[in-house]
Amino acid sequence: MSGNTEEQPLLPDSFQEEEELIAFLDSGNLEGDLQAGAIAGYSLLWLLMWATAMGLLIQLLSARLGVATGKHLAELCREEYPAWARIVLWIMAELALIGSDIQEVIRSIIAIRILSRGVVPLWAGVVITALDCFIFLFLENYGVRTLEALFVVLIGVMAISFAWMFGEAKPSGKELLLGVLIPKLSSRTIQQAVGVVGCLIMPHNVFLHSALVQSRQVDRSKKGRVQEALNYYSIESTLALVVSFIINIFVTTVFAKGFYGSELANSIGLANAGQYLEETYGGGLFPILYIWGIGLLAASQSSTITGTYAVQFIMGGFLNLRLKKWMRALITRSFQIPFALIPLLYLVSKEQIMGTFRIGYVLKITSWLVAALVIVINGYLLTEFFSSEVNGPLFGAVVGAITAAYVAFLLYLIWRAIAFYLGKA
């Protein structure tokens, strides 16, 4: 019986695909999209496309690690690094995830207040958000397909909402095409450009997806079966990210059409975006304010659930336990991203761990160049943030000490990877 089971063709894993799609459509992405559209117009659509491609590469490496080893990134970090290093990696991952999750809860509350026209008070929004997250997770007791159906509904709601907005706003097709095909970047839009990249490449998703791929049973003693699984994940991930790119395009171009070059561009955020959309595009058959609120609520709720899964894998892996809002979210992600990318690239290159599925020379160079680019972009954001926000000698000394420790640990991870490549590890 087991032999026949092993030879059955692998089936698409829609749950993992939905999780990947949600990872690129959380409410942080929506705020990055609206900021990019309102302030930069159509000019950063090319960057949105290439940032999505970079995110796809990182997701594929995460899947490769999980499928080839049967373990996720946090588990492998626990086995590979000394105790002090894995504790630091765990703390960094948890802090970044906490910062991200807090933002998702806040955005859920904003969506509830938009839909209720402010009738629901803040404290009630907090209670509703907490309760419905627990209710959604309780559905897992009825099987993963039940939770999968929930994600299908949430993704469908997002897609319909933002496609409806796109249809109502009717952005310029010519400007959209030029924005995707012609790279353009100015000093005035650099912060939005950094935000586009930072919102799409989030550290906790690197840990999450290396674990989600293991929901499909693969006979790792057979190279062909492992390769077949990797091929499936490549197709699924690509399709998921193409859909996410289209939906992100919808949001960015709606705000580009309505607010680029206006006095309102610099003051738009998630909380007041619905009001401005209604003033700009009118009510229509179904008021665009409610369409925005529904899409925002679906994005926030789905991301809160995936964040809970990420906590489970990160804590379980590292500790072996089985148990400005927009800018703040970017800062927490920027702070953590090197500590997810460097271990991933180091481990996925190691033959002792990956066997014949370790990445080749060309993919290795490409991956490290992408990682270096992402780290430099996020490093720029951190530098800009701290240079503008740090005031006073005491605060400066504390930030300086933390920065020194941060850089020292980052150099340790890089040194370990270089030593391995030089044959000294």
Place of tokens 């060309």: 362
Helix (H, G, I), strand (E, B) or coil at 10: coil
Condensed to tens digits (0 to 9), the pLDDT of residues 67-81 reads 888 888 888 888 888
End-to-end Cα distance, the chain: 43
Separation CA 187–CA 336 (nearest Å): 25
DSSP notation for 3-65: HHHHHSPP---HHHHHHHHHHTSSHHHHHHHHHHHHHHTTTTHHHHHHHHHHHHHHHHHHHHH
CA 23 distance to own-chain centroid: 4
What pTM does this model have?
A: 0.75
Question: Considering the domain 15-334 in this protein, what is its CATH number?
Answer: 1.10.4160.10
Query: How high is the pLDDT of residue 6?
Result: 44
Look over the chain and give the mean of its residue pLDDT values, rounded to a whole number: 77
Mean pLDDT of 185-211: 80
Query: How high is the pLDDT of residue 7?
Result: 44
One-letter amino acid of 66: G
Query: How high is the pLDDT of residue 175?
Result: 92
CA 393 distance to own-chain centroid: 35
379 vs 327: which has the higher pLDDT: 379
Query: How high is the pLDDT of residue 58?
Result: 87
Separation CA 324–CA 418 (nearest Å): 38
Residue 296 reports pLDDT greater than 90: no
Cα dihedral 6, 12, 14, 20 in deg (nearest 10) = 100
One-letter amino acid of 353: I
138 vs 414: which has the higher pLDDT: 414
